[in-house]
Amino acid sequence: MTEAEPVPAAVPNATDSNGTEVLNATAKFVATPEGTALAYGSLVVMALLPIFFGALRSVTCSKSKNSADAPETITSRDAARFPIIASCTLFGLYLFFKVFSQEYINLLLSVYFFVLGVLALAHTMSPAMSRIFPESFPNKQYQLLFTQGSGESKEEIVNYEFDTKNLVCLLISSVVGVWYLLKKHWIANNVFGLAFALNGVELLHLNNVSTGCILLGGLFIYDVFWVFGTNVMVTVAKSFEAPIKLVFPQDLLEKGLEASNFAMLGLGDIVIPGIFIALLLRFDVSLKKNSRTYFYSSFLAYIFGLGLTIFVMHTFKHAQPALLYLVPACVGFPVVVALCKGELTEMFSYESSEEVLPASPRITSFPTVSGSPASLAASMETMATGSSPRHRRVLPTSM
């Protein structure tokens, strides 16, 4: 979902820096054309970054020899169930906000997403840190192990392997996390949001194009229904104080970093098309033609779809289900390209899961966390979405 909060015809109340509504009986903020253009342009750029770099990292991730850092794969069965699970989660949150105090719910969520955000940001920073540190840096290995029971019945709950570089990343990420926890500043929100989105695109792999079409088609209906059919999506998005959306103030030019009237874009509108675009990049690589035709066509399609979403939202002054425009564009453009090149059958027969390591057992309860910071962040993000895709290796995000 994407929305411009402060436009008077669309939303009668402004919002403060925490995303809560503030009644304004005397005057309503009217965004300037410059402020609106800056906000929309910034949201588009922020949406493109995790898709582009996450897709590139997904290629490396799929070829990883380390089973702990390998991605999880969504199958067609998972894709078919995901819109139902997402709908139940969304409506459950809506009821929680109606029944219980919003303050206490958001306090609990803030602590949870603090931990989740620190891990996701640390994983995002890890490759850069590995290049920054010199080879002579004393990089010691550590292991955090929690078990349950004793003897033959002993079961691992957490088996977390990390090194000194990971600790540096966690320390830097923790500073951002404390800033977010204490101030709920929109920049800290976006840093975590971008980390979640990049992790999602990198680590969550569709097994084939057909599965991608099932997932995008189901969430197309999900997004349209919950935005146009009810007020549930908009209510939860405004009440939910967590970095599950990217925001940018339309009054930045007037108020600077303390601006408070935001346009927003849900992370689901980035990650869901993003994992499909990443799949097409891996398909490009599998063709071994030294071209990225399908990746670039789907990437341009995403830009077109998001631009159309913003145009319609700005014209009608109403929150829009971004997947209404993104899904036809991101699926339609590559299919047309494949038809023109005579590679449609080859595209739909491509199996991404053939390039990754063999499947591991399905997660049916609280997951055993094993491996590196990447695997821990991935496991926790899977838990955050209320779904449990087949553990053939990352993490879904919706809303």
Q: What residues are labeled active site? A: 223, 269
> CA nearest 126: which of 66, 172, 185?
172
> In this structure, are residues 369 and 375 in contact, taking their beta carbons and an 8 Å threshold?
yes
Q: Please report, to the nearest 10 degrees, the dihedral formed by the alpha carbons of residues 379, 383, 385, 389 taken in order.
A: 60
What is the DSSP pairing of strand 204-206 with strand 72-74?
A: parallel
Q: Which residue type occupies 214?
A: I
The token pair at 168 is: 């540096």
> CA nearest 386: which of 244, 286, 287?
244
> In this structure, are residues 279 and 57 in contact, taking their beta carbons and an 8 Å threshold?
no
Q: How far apart are CA 122 and CA 168, in angstroms?
A: 9
> CA nearest 276: which of 324, 330, 325, 326?
330
Residue 374's Cβ-side half-sphere holds a number of Cα atoms within 13 Å equal to: 24
Calculate the alpha carbon distances from 115 to 43, 132, 308, 311, 379 in Å.
25, 25, 35, 36, 12
